[in-house]
Chains A and B, each alone.
Chain A
Amino acid sequence: MEHISYLFAAFLAVWIVIFFYLFSLSRRHRDLAREVEALRQMMEQKNPSRST
């Protein structure tokens, strides 16, 4: 069981990096989706005839 702390640290680091990136990705995606929705609503209000 020598060096188990290094093995643990390495795998922990891998998952921290992956989850941090996935979390930031989902946050960015959510913000962009909200902005698209807001812009679409704004366009619909301006041009009701264009809305589908």
Chain B
Amino acid sequence: MNFLVESPGLLTTVQDGGRYGYERFGVSPSGPMDRHAFQIANILAGNRRCEGALEATILGPTLVFDGDGVIALTGADMGAALNGVPCPTWRAVAVYAGDRLTMGPARSGCRTYIAFCGGLDVPTVMGSRSTALQSRIGGYEGRKLAPGDTLAVRPAPLPQNLPARRAAPPPPYGGRVTVRVILGPQEDAFTAEGLDTFLTQPYTVSNDFSRMGYRLEGPVIRHREDGNILSDGMVTGAVQVPTSGRPIIMMADRQTVGGYTKIAAVISADLPLVGQCKAGDILRFRSVSLAEAHEALGRAEQELRDLERAVAAPACPEKTYRVTVNGTPYDVRIQRMK
């Protein structure tokens, strides 16, 4: 199956699990901004968790399919419709040749994932299909999708148990969000008052937010001296505070090294919450222990494993009836849900 990008939306890119093994050469990991929703989309569509899928941002694309397939939409609600009829999300959906998937602006959250059974067929660069926008590699020609692009989906046996392929949607995204952080590695560079400001005051996502990082607006975080260090390595979720005292959360397309003090890093289990924030959303930070962070990550992992088990359920019995309405015959397939 291929699909035509009739309109690309604001920023739609191919992402897989990310590009690993090249950070010491300066290559960003890229990958999905909301890893949790991304993996759920793939599992629902019948893929391995980190298969190449689309990440749409703020305004979704319009896609026209030229063959039959199975897709799954997760993440932000962009009011998706299939041939003008609302398209269910957080579950697998069959699409047929000629179907048109339209999406609008995000109603809550920022990023929607569209996974396709078989995964997107784009070449791997350094082992990954993720688009790295700054270095213009990976994904579809190293760039965001444009009108007229045609993407191929790798052929794969389509799952037959679509009704079993559903996941519970998470609570609404964005708005006011508290994310957990591990302090450091340069927490000593800040005054006690500076640390207190960071951990008690609300920060608003500014208009300058991207796959590289989120600049936040809020009370200045005071350093003991300044915000400069000898450049060192970076993690996704690191909260950099330059001398200005204004924090920046480093995200998937971040650079691999940085010369500013890092007051903390958002824990892996809460990074998806940041990835679903957009300008105007309000973040608060809460310091937790490494043990608590790993426990939260373990729970998120367990949720994905449970989902993998649930979607492996055999297809329920199905019956087909021929129904004639106003002289037109229809084949109606009926499947028991549970």
Q: Say if A and B assemble together.
A: no
Hey, which bits of chain B sit against chain A, CB under 8 A? none
